[in-house]
């Protein structure tokens, strides 16, 4: 029966392929779970055991929970043993969160060496480089000969076939990082040379390293700026602790960007993935926060009740003011948040951003103001109403440009993430100010 289901066929084709990406398998399983939990479980059991833990780790949190609850403890401990240290730590921490009893039961079943790695990596906060490093790496001391390295390499390749090998880390006898050497460099030296000799012969052997407590966002920046493939992670005394590799960086860049997109709308990826309930609650929190601001905007309108009573056309045009202010303000917010994400913060830069956004707000305000003013004139046949809405749009869009850049800049100045719900707050601010300007002008100029 299951042969008729295209998703199952696709899943099996993926499994038979030469290159199996755990992410793709996880995504197919997720699709199957939407159709039928039974299909999810039967196909999960088809995944080879050396990939299984990685596939489970790539599932959304709710399915992760299902998968780990289904597997016998011994099997679970077995499949975790195939994970690299950073992923094993991630797996155990996630287990701690969703199934603490399972975590308690399987932890003692792990190899003592893996336990030791996990407990070491667990000490790092989730925003520190240490939390993302692999502790399995090929390293050697300056006294070793090329011939010895070749032997080490053979052993390493046998046990860690999946690990990317780009550079060899070289330390002194106490484990302090001395250099990193490309394998293509080693190829050019004779077996009897020591690493110290190799390093001396190479024009530039110095390598960038990062501290284990460095923020991971700084590390991803470093990878992008210096086109790194791999970087050593050292402790405060420059002792080699592990390394961070390009493949983690792909996911980190993607995750950082994704987190920002979510934040801007008052949502949160972890909450969305955890469960329907947590997604709903996290979103509600931001709407609550914004609700206060919305009621202020409503109070502004309330203040002008008599004016609206005199001319209801004003109420008809209010949504135009609000929507345009929100549009223009959010364009400014998006552009400013992205520019701030690139790291510029000087006063000169802020001045440049502000003047750009105000300029665009004024120009587009004048163009749109003239158009809407004309439309309103023909619609309601009240010349002065056209002038009032036109003026109000010019003023409101100029303020929207100002606020759209000032809001993220101010957040950044006080070290608050400028992406957090900026568009939500901005929309309400331009609503309140826009209504005040529009209804205020109407009160003065129309009656």
Site for a second copy in 105-144 (CB under 8 A): none
Rule CB under 8 A: say whether 413 interacts with a second copy.
Answer: no
Site for a second copy in 329-388 (CB under 8 A): 330-331, 333-335, 337-338, 342-344, 346, 348-349, 351-352, 356, 359-360, 363-364, 367-368, 371-372, 375
Say how far apart CA 263 and CA 137 lie, in whole Å: 36
* Binding region for a second copy (CB under 8 A) out of 45-53, 73-81, 235-243, 300-308: 300-308
Rule CB under 8 A: say whether 408 interacts with a second copy.
Answer: no
Specify the residue, 109 or 311, whose C-beta has the smaller distance to a second copy: 311
* Binding region for a second copy (CB under 8 A) out of 74-82, 92-100, 157-165, 231-239: 157-165
Residue holding tokens 């070290």?
415
Given a contact cutoff of 8 angstroms between Cβ atoms, the answer to whether 178 and 200 are in contact is no
Residue 328, SS3 per DSSP: helix
Which of 49, 74, 111, 154 is the binder for a second copy (CB under 8 A)? 154
Rule CB under 8 A: say whether 444 interacts with a second copy.
Answer: no
Given a contact cutoff of 8 angstroms between Cβ atoms, the answer to whether 435 and 322 are in contact is yes
Which of 93, 142, 238, 260 is the binder for a second copy (CB under 8 A)? 260
Rule CB under 8 A: say whether 16 interacts with a second copy.
Answer: no
Which of 12, 27, 75, 102 is the binder for a second copy (CB under 8 A)? 27
Specify the residue, 77 or 321, whose C-beta has the smaller distance to a second copy: 321
Rule CB under 8 A: say whether 415 interacts with a second copy.
Answer: no
Which of 75, 120, 160, 182 is the binder for a second copy (CB under 8 A)? 182
Rule CB under 8 A: say whether 270 interacts with a second copy.
Answer: no
Residue 45, SS3 per DSSP: coil
Specify the residue, 100 or 288, whose C-beta has the smaller distance to a second copy: 288
Given a contact cutoff of 8 angstroms between Cβ atoms, the answer to whether 211 and 275 are in contact is no
Strands 230-234, 209-211: pairing kind: parallel
Report in angstroms how near the CB of residue 381 gets to a second copy at its nearest.
Answer: 13
What is the chain's percent helix, strand, coil content, to nearest 5? 70, 10, 20
Given a contact cutoff of 8 angstroms between Cβ atoms, the answer to whether 273 and 60 are in contact is yes
Report in angstroms how near the CB of residue 357 gets to a second copy at its nearest.
Answer: 10
Phi, psi of 95, rounded to the nearest 5 degrees = -60, -45
Report in angstroms how near the CB of residue 59 gets to a second copy at its nearest.
Answer: 13
Beta strands in 128-238 (DSSP E): 139-141, 167-171, 177-182, 209-211, 230-234
User: What is the layout of strands, in order, in the sheet containing 139-141?
Assistant: 139-141, 167-171, 177-182
19: which DSSP letter?
A: S
Report in angstroms how near the CB of residue 328 gets to a second copy at its nearest.
Answer: 7
Which of 4, 16, 18, 126 is the binder for a second copy (CB under 8 A)? 18
Report in angstroms how near the CB of residue 380 gets to a second copy at its nearest.
Answer: 9
Report in angstroms how near the CB of residue 375 gets to a second copy at its nearest.
Answer: 7
Report in angstroms how near the CB of residue 190 gets to a second copy at its nearest.
Answer: 11
Q: How many CB atoms lie within 10 A of CB 132?
A: 26
Specify the residue, 101 or 346, whose C-beta has the smaller distance to a second copy: 346
Say how far apart CA 111 and CA 233 lie, in whole Å: 24
Report in angstroms how near the CB of residue 272 gets to a second copy at its nearest.
Answer: 6
Report in angstroms how near the CB of residue 63 gets to a second copy at its nearest.
Answer: 12
Residue holding tokens 């992760």?
64
CA proximity to 260, closest of 55, 411, 87 = 411
Find the angle CA(187)-CA(192)-CA(194) to the nearest 5 degrees.
80
Beta strands in 280-416 (DSSP E): none
Alpha-helical runs (H) found in 265-312: 269-274, 276-303, 305-310
Residue holding tokens 């009893």?
101
Rule CB under 8 A: say whether 37 interacts with a second copy.
Answer: no
Distance between start and end Cα atoms, the chain = 76
CA distances from 101 to 105, 315, 326, 425 (A): 6, 59, 49, 42
Which of 15, 21, 387, 446 is the binder for a second copy (CB under 8 A)? 21
* Binding region for a second copy (CB under 8 A) out of 14-22, 44-52, 114-122, 210-218: 14-22
Site for a second copy in 198-217 (CB under 8 A): 203-204, 206, 208
Report in angstroms how near the CB of residue 325 gets to a second copy at its nearest.
Answer: 11
* Binding region for a second copy (CB under 8 A) out of 45-53, 96-104, 108-116, 249-257: 249-257
Rule CB under 8 A: say whether 327 interacts with a second copy.
Answer: yes
Site for a second copy in 45-104 (CB under 8 A): none
Say how far apart CA 432 and CA 150 lie, in whole Å: 71
Specify the residue, 21 or 61, whose C-beta has the smaller distance to a second copy: 21
Which of 124, 223, 436, 438 is the binder for a second copy (CB under 8 A)? 223
């Amino acid at each position: 029966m299951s042969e008729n289901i295209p998703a199952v066929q696709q899943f099996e084709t993926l499994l038979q392929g030469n290159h199996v990406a755990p992410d793709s398998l996880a995504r197919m399983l997720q699709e199957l779970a939407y159709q039928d939990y039974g299909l999810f479980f039967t196909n999960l059991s088809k995944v080879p055991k050396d990939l299984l833990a990685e596939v489970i780790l790539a599932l959304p949190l709710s399915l992760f929970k299902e998968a780990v609850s289904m597997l016998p403890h011994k099997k679970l401990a077995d499949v975790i043993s195939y994970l690299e240290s950073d992923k094993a730590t991630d797996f155990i921490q996630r287990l701690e969160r969703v199934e603490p009893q399972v975590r308690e039961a399987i932890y003692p079943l792990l190899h003592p060496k893996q336990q030791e790695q996990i407990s070491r990596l667990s000490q790092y906060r989730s925003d520190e480089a240490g939390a993302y490093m692999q502790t399995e790496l090929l390293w050697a001391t300056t006294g070793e000969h090329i011939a010895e390295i070749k032997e080490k390499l053979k052993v390493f390749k046998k046990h860690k076939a999946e690990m990317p090998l780009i550079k060899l880390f070289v330390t002194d006898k106490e484990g302090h990082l001395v250099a990193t050497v490309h394998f293509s460099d080693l190829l050019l030296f004779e077996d009897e040379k020591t690493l110290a000799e190799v390093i001396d012969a190479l024009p530039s052997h110095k390598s960038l390293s990062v501290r284990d407590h460095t923020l991971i966002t700084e590390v991803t920046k470093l990878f992008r700026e210096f086109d790194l493939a791999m970087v050593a992670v050292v402790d405060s005394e420059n002792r080699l602790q592990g390394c961070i590799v390009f493949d983690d960086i792909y996911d980190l860049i993607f995750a950082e960007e994704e987190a920002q997109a979510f934040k801007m709308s008052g949502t949160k990826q972890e909450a969305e993935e955890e469960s329907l309930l947590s997604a709903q609650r996290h979103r509600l929190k931001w709407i609550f926060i914004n609700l206060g601001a919305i009621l202020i905007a409503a109070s502004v309108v309330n203040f002008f009740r008599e004016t609206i009573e005199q001319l209801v056309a004003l109420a008809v045009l209010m949504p135009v003011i609000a929507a345009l202010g929100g549009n223009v303000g959010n364009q400014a917010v998006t552009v400013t948040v992205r520019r701030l994400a690139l790291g510029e913060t000087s006063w000169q830069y802020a001045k440049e951003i502000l003047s750009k956004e105000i300029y665009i707000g004024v120009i587009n305000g004048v163009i749109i103001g003239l158009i809407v003013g004309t439309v309103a004139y023909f619609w309601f046949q009240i010349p002065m109403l056209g002038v009032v809405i036109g003026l109000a749009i010019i003023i409101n869009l100029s303020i929207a440009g100002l606020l759209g850049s000032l809001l993220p800049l101010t957040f950044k100045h006080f070290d608050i993430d400028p992406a957090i719900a900026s568009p939500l707050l901005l929309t309400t601010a331009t609503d309140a100010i826009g209504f005040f300007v529009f209804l205020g002008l109407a009160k003065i100029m129309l009656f």
